[in-house]
Amino acid sequence: MKLVTLRPDQFDKFAQKHRYRSLYQTSSYAKSMLKFGYNIHFLGFTNSNNELIGATFITYKEVFMNNKIAYAPRGILFDFSDSSKVRKLVEKLKQVLGKQGFMLLRMDPYIPISIRSSDGNIININNQEKIICENLITAGFEYKGKNLFFENEKPRWEALILLNKPLEMIFNNFDKNVRNKIRKAENAGLEIVKEKDLTNLYDFIKFKEKKPLKYYEELCKKFGDNAIIYYAKIKSETFVINSRKMYEEEVITNEQLAEQIQDINLNNKDRTNILNKKMESDKLLTVYKNHMLMATNLLKKYPQGIVIGGILVIEYDNAAHIIVEGYSEEYKSLNPSYLIKWEMICEYYNKQYKYINLGGIAGTFNKENKYSKLNENKLGFNCVVSEYIGEFDIILNNFTYNLFKNFKKK
C-alpha cells in the first residue's frame, strides 16, 4: 500500500462513489477551512496495482514545536472490515505522516451502525460494526466510546426526515404538537423566502454558535448554488388580519363551549370533555389576543414585514442537510423554524430528494436529559435516527505527542 497526494478533483471522484460519503468529505468543504488558519491535505491510498482504494482529506494546524494534530472530517473513506488492509493503512499513516510532524490523527467515520425510529426502537443495524471497531482498535486506534450526546467534532446521532411517502401522509405522521405549530405559523401569515444574504440568520445564531459569520459565508461560497438560506418573514398586514380573525372565531367557539357546559342533561364524562375543551379554548384566546397586540405593534414598527427565522441548507447527494438554524426570541411563539421545515419538505419531496438531514441530536430518547428540547423539536417530525460509529484517535508519533501532553499539563 502507498500513501499518495491527491488533487481535489481526484478526491471528489473517489468520494462520490464511496458508500459512506458525506458533504464533509468534499473538496468544497475542505477549501472552506482554508480561510480559518487550517491547512488541508488530500490523501489517497493505493494497492499494488496502483489502484485507489482509500482517500481522505485532513485539516491541521501546528500546535507544538512545528508538530501538528490532524482531523479527517467524517473519517477516511476505506474498507475497515478488512483487518489486513487496516493494519497496512495504519503503518502508512505512521510511516509517512508521523515523520512529517503529525502527532495525532482523529477521525469520525460516517458509518451508520444503527437506524432507529423517533422513539429509539432499532429498525436496522450494521452487522459489520464489531468487526470494524475491532480492526481499528487492534491496528492502533483508540476508540473514544459511544457518546450519547455530542462528540468533539461532528454529531454521532442525526435525525432524518424520509421523503418516501406522499406529503399528506408525511404531515399526518408528525406529532400533534408539530402539526399545530405549522398550522399556527401558516395562520399567522408567515412567508417563506430564499435568499443568499446570511446577515439576518447570523443575528439569530451569533450568541449560541462559536463559529464566525465568515465560516458560513465560506460554506455558501464554496458550495455555490447548493447552499440555500430559507427565511421566515412576517407579512405585517396579513398578520394583523389573520390574528384578528382567529381571535374572533375562537371567541365564538369559547361561548358555545360555555353554553354546553350549562346543559343539565350532560353526563359526567361528556361534561369533563367539554370542560377540557373550554380550558384549551381559554388558553387559545390568550394566545390570539397576544398575537393581535403583537401584530398591531409590528405593523406600526415594520409595515413592510420582518424576518423572524432562518435555516442554512446544503444540498448534497440527493438530500438536503441543515447546517444551522435560528430565530428571533421575540417572535418564537410564531414557530418560524417549523414552517420553514415544512416548506423544505414540500419542495424537496417534489424534487424527489431522499431525505432532509435535520442535524445532530442526543442519543437518548427519554425526556430527562438536558437536550430533550432539542430532540423534541426534531424527532417530532417523525424522523428516523442514524447512529454513527463514533470517534477514533491514533497517535502517529509517540515521542512528540508525549512531549506535547507534558507541556500542556505544565
Give me the pLDDT at residue 410, please.
65
Provide the CATH number for the domain around residue 197: 3.40.630.30
State yes or no: pLDDT of 332 exceeds 80: yes
Number of domains in the chain: 3
Query: Are both 320 and 211 inside the same structural domain?
Result: yes
Query: Are both 132 and 44 inside the same structural domain?
Result: yes
Query: Are both 47 and 130 inside the same structural domain?
Result: yes
Model confidence at 369, pLDDT cuts 50, 70, 90, reads confident
State yes or no: pLDDT of 269 exceeds 90: no
* Residue in this structure with the C-alpha cell 472490515, named with its chain if needed: 81
Largest CA distance in the chain: 90
Q: What is the average pLDDT across 209-225?
A: 93
Tell me whether residue 377 is in a domain.
no
Query: Are both 216 and 320 inside the same structural domain?
Result: yes
Give me the pLDDT at residue 256, please.
93
Tell me whether residue 120 is in a domain.
no
Tell me whether residue 375 is in a domain.
no
Q: What is the average pLDDT across 143-171?
A: 91
212 touches 199 (CB < 8 A): no
Query: Are both 242 and 227 inside the same structural domain?
Result: no
pLDDT tens-digit map of 350-360: 999 999 999 99
Q: Report the range of poorest mean pLDDT among 13-22, 325-334, 399-408.
A: 399-408
Q: What is the average pLDDT across 106-130?
A: 95
Tell me whether residue 379 is in a domain.
no
Query: Are both 82 and 138 inside the same structural domain?
Result: yes
Model confidence at 277, pLDDT cuts 50, 70, 90, reads very high
Query: Are both 256 and 272 inside the same structural domain?
Result: yes
Query: Are both 223 and 262 inside the same structural domain?
Result: no
pLDDT tens-digit map of 172-209: 999 999 999 999 899 888 999 999 899 999 999 999 88
State yes or no: pLDDT of 149 exceeds 80: no
Tell me whether residue 158 is in a domain.
no
pLDDT tens-digit map of 64-95: 888 999 999 999 999 999 999 999 999 999 99
Tell me whether residue 119 is in a domain.
no
Query: Are both 174 and 268 inside the same structural domain?
Result: no
Distance in angstroms (rounded) separating the CA atoms of residues 227 and 147: 30
State yes or no: pLDDT of 164 exceeds 80: yes
224 exposure class (CB count in 10 Å sphere: 0-12, 13-18, 19+) = exposed
Distance in angstroms (rounded) separating the CA atoms of residues 155 and 64: 28
- Average pLDDT of the chain is 93
Q: What is the average pLDDT across 391-404?
A: 91
Give me the pLDDT at residue 148, please.
76
Give me the pLDDT at residue 364, please.
86
Query: Are both 316 and 264 inside the same structural domain?
Result: no
Alpha helices by DSSP H, listed for 147-212, are 167-172, 176-187, 199-205
Give me the pLDDT at residue 189, please.
83
18 exposure class (CB count in 10 Å sphere: 0-12, 13-18, 19+) = middle
Tell me whether residue 261 is in a domain.
yes
Q: What is the average pLDDT across 157-177?
A: 97
Query: Are both 45 and 92 inside the same structural domain?
Result: yes
Query: Are both 141 and 288 inside the same structural domain?
Result: no
Q: What is the DSSP letter of 77?
A: B
Please report which helix (H) or strand (E) contains residue 95, including its range: none
Model confidence at 328, pLDDT cuts 50, 70, 90, reads very high
Tell me whether residue 318 is in a domain.
yes
Q: What percent of the chain is helix, strand and coil (3-state, nearest 5)? A: 45, 25, 30
Give me the pLDDT at residue 232, please.
97
Which structural domain range is residue 26 located in? 2-113+125-147+389-409
